Amino acid sequence: MRVLLMAALLRKDRMGRLLLWACLGALPAAALADEHEMLCSEGFGSFTSRSAAGVTVSVEPVRRSAFASRVCSASLSWKSGDVAVTPKASEINIDAFGVDLGLGPQVAAFEIRNVGSDKLVQYEIYALKKPAEKLRTLTGGTYFTAADTDMDGRVEIWTDDAGAMDGFENLPLSSFDAAPTVVLRFEKQKLMDVSAEFQPDYDRQIKRLESELDAGMLGRFKKSDGKLADRSSLAIDEAHGLTATKIKVLEIVWAYVYSGREPEAWAKLASLWPDADMERVKAAIQKAREAGMRSLVDGVAEHAAGFHVKKHAIVFDAETEYEKRDAKTLFLADTVPQEILLRRPALSATAQASLHDETVLYLTVDAAGKVRSAKAEGHADKDLLAATSGWRFIPAFKDGHAVASHMRYGVTPNQ
Q: Which pLDDT tens digit goes with each residue over 89-117?
A: 999 999 999 999 999 999 999 999 986 65
- Residue 98: phi and psi, rounded to 5, are 75, 15
For the chain, the first-to-last Cα distance in angstroms comes to 15
For position 324, what pLDDT does the model report?
Answer: 52
228, pLDDT greater than 50: yes
CA distance 242 to 221: 6
Report the residue count for the chain. 415
Percent of the chain with pLDDT over 90: 67
User: 199-203, 382-386, 391-395: which has the minimum mean pLDDT?
Assistant: 382-386
CA atoms within 13 A on the CB side of 404: 20
**Average pLDDT score over residue span 150-173:** 95
133-155 pLDDT per residue, tens = 999 999 999 999 999 999 999 99
pLDDT for 26 equals: 57
pLDDT at 50 over 90: yes
Q: Which residue has the higher pLDDT, 272 or 344?
A: 272
- For the segment 161-171, the average pLDDT, to the nearest whole number, is 94
pLDDT, mean over the chain: 86
**Segment holding 360, helix H or strand E:** strand 359-365
What are phi and psi for residue 72, nearest 5 degrees? -125, 160
pLDDT at 323: 53
383 pLDDT band (50/70/90 cuts)? confident
Residue 15's pLDDT band, with cuts at 50, 70 and 90, is very low
- Domain at 315-411: CATH code: 3.30.2420
Q: Tell me if the domain spanning 37-142 has CATH number 2.40.128.
A: yes
pLDDT classification of 12: cutoffs 50, 70, 90? very low
Domain boundaries in the chain?
37-142, 156-310, 315-411
Asked whether the domain spanning 315-411 has the same topology as the one spanning 37-142, the reply is: no
More confident residue, 95 or 69: 95
Query: Mean per-residue pLDDT for 371-396?
Result: 89
**CA dihedral (270, 275, 279, 281) positive or negative:** negative
Residue 244's pLDDT band (boundaries 50, 70, 90)? Answer: very high
pLDDT at 2: 39
Q: What is the pLDDT of residue 52?
A: 93
Query: What's the whole-number mean pLDDT along residues 184-199?
Result: 96
Helix (H) or strand (E) holding 352: helix 349-352
